[in-house]
Chains A and B, each alone.
Chain A
């Protein structure tokens, strides 16, 4: 069955960095565009980044552009999100999503001093 599992979240100080990882199985990873979506506590869903199935043309929301970078390793069925210069308002649950339908359970990122 389809599995999408995020890891790498945690508590980090403002200005710090984290790297999120999304490990997948049960579907043909290299055929799917992949997304990162986040949800701040008590707030709605916010699209963060997208990468095409072949790893070209990563897109990032304006709120994270220049600080976050999406990438993927199709040989390992894995998606990444490198997050630098973290800010308080980056605090959220970060979800990995394959195509429109396959969501992970999310990983919590807390940016706090």
Chain B
């Protein structure tokens, strides 16, 4: 089975900082990669699908890149409301594994 990893597992950054989270698949998944944001106590929300397509309504400071095995989620200018855990998920074929998550908070 394809394994999904994320780095870092957590980070602390200042408001306005550029933040990048990496997701890696153990085998090629093309661009079948989604990113989710889960704020504390809330339901996960889709940010990006097809590795780089922004979901409707998601602020443009979020962006995704990558293909194959290496992917990134970037927050161009971190805002207080971005405090959350971020997960990647592969959806090329089963099993539709999630990464372990990256917890982002404000320094």
Chains A and B are bound partners: yes
Are B87 and A44 touching (Cβ within 8 A)?
Answer: yes
Task: Judge whether B46 and A45 touch: CB under 8 Å.
Answer: no
How many pairs of residues, A versus B, come closer than 8 Å at their CB atoms? 45
Does B59 make an interface contact (CB < 8 A)? no
Please count how many residues in chain B sit with their CB below 8 Å of the partner chain's CB atoms.
22
Across-interface contacts of B98 in A (CB, < 8 A): 37, 44-47
* CB-nearest residue of chain B to A61: B95
Which of A11-19, A73-81, A83-91, A98-106 forms contacts with chain B? A98-106
A47 and B96 alpha carbons, distance in the complex (Å): 6
A64 to chain B, nearest CB (A): 11
B73 → chain A closest CB, angstroms: 15
Among B34, B44, B49, B97: residue with most chain A CB under 10 A = B44
**A29 within 8 A of partner (CB):** no
> Which of A44, A47, A100, A104 lies in contact with B95, CB distance below 8 A?
A47
Q: Which of B85, B87, B91, B101 has the most CB of A within 10 A?
A: B91
How near does chain A come to B94, taking the closest CB pair, in angstroms? 4
With a cutoff of 8 Å between Cβ atoms, the chain B residues found around residue A104 in the complex are 43
Question: Which residues of chain A are near B49, meaning CB under 8 Å?
Answer: 100-101
Q: Beyond A59-B96, A100-B46, A103-B43, list 6 extra A-B contacts (CB 8 Å).
A: A44-B98, A44-B99, A44-B100, A45-B101, A95-B44, A101-B49
Residues of chain A at the chain B interface (Cβ within 8 Å): 35, 37, 44-47, 50, 59, 61-62, 95, 100-101, 103-106
7 contacts between A and B (CB under 8 A): A44-B101, A45-B36, A47-B97, A95-B44, A100-B34, A100-B49, A105-B43
